[in-house]
Amino acid sequence: MIKNDEKFIGYIFEVAWILPSVAIPVAVITAVVLTAFAVGIRVPDVVGRIEPKAIAVTAPFDQPGLRELAPGKYEAAIVAQVFLFTPNEIEIPAGSEVTFVLTSRDVIHGFKIVGTAVNMMVVPGQISKLTVRFDQPGEYLIVCHEYCGSGHHVMSGKVIVQ
Ligand code: CUA
């Protein structure tokens, strides 16, 4: 026969295991929701597909570079290929909002702007897009952070905020 005391201890142990197994997923989901909405972490949008061979004749990649869409709002069309970004340097005034639109001519590359929320993969056949605001003047390093071959470590660029 199990005594009542033993039953009670068994119950306590069971609750001690059940509570964390409920609390931990709730904490994880809360953290994901908070970072997505409060901190503003977003995944880059896939805005379309493009045939890598057609990059040279498809807007905006036929003329890569910076375009002013409205006062203080820019679009930067950038083509990634082994082992460079075209263009690899853009210059904007502080307070500008820049939408980066990228695609790759060959293999998978990365596009990370150090010190900002811009961090995306650049996949051949796919167009990736991410908008960010540059409030602080300075030079922001752009790095390829997906291993793309022997020159991967030299694949970089910069954003100059005046
Ligand atoms: Cu491009 Cu690594």
pLDDT for 100-157, tens place per residue?
Answer: 999 999 999 999 999 998 999 999 999 999 999 999 999 999 999 999 999 999 999 9
> What's the average model confidence in pLDDT over 78-86?
96
Distance between Cα 97 and ligand 1 center (Å): 25
Q: Beta 138-143 vs 156-161: how paired, if at all?
A: antiparallel
Ligand 1 touching residue 153 (CB < 6 A): no
Phi, psi dihedral angles at 106 (to 5 degrees): -135, -80
H helices of 38-162, in order, are none
Q: Which residue has a Cα nearest atom 1 of ligand 1?
A: 109
What integer pLDDT is reported at residue 47 of this predicted model?
79
Residue 84 pLDDT grade (very low, low, confident, very high; cuts 50, 70, 90): very high
DSSP state of 93: -
Ligand 1 touching residue 88 (CB < 6 A): no
Distance CA 39, CA 130 (A): 16
Ligand 1 touching residue 146 (CB < 6 A): yes
Residue 7 pLDDT grade (very low, low, confident, very high; cuts 50, 70, 90): confident
Ligand 1 touching residue 112 (CB < 6 A): no
Report the atom number in ligand 1 closest to the C-alpha of 147. 2
Distance CA 61, CA 53 (A): 11
Vertex 71: Cα angle to 144 and 135 (nearest 5): 50
Q: Beta 84-86 vs 109-113: how paired, if at all?
A: unpaired
Ligand 1 touching residue 11 (CB < 6 A): no
Residue 94 predicted with pLDDT over 70: yes
Residue 1 pLDDT grade (very low, low, confident, very high; cuts 50, 70, 90): low
Distance between Cα 107 and ligand 1 center (Å): 8
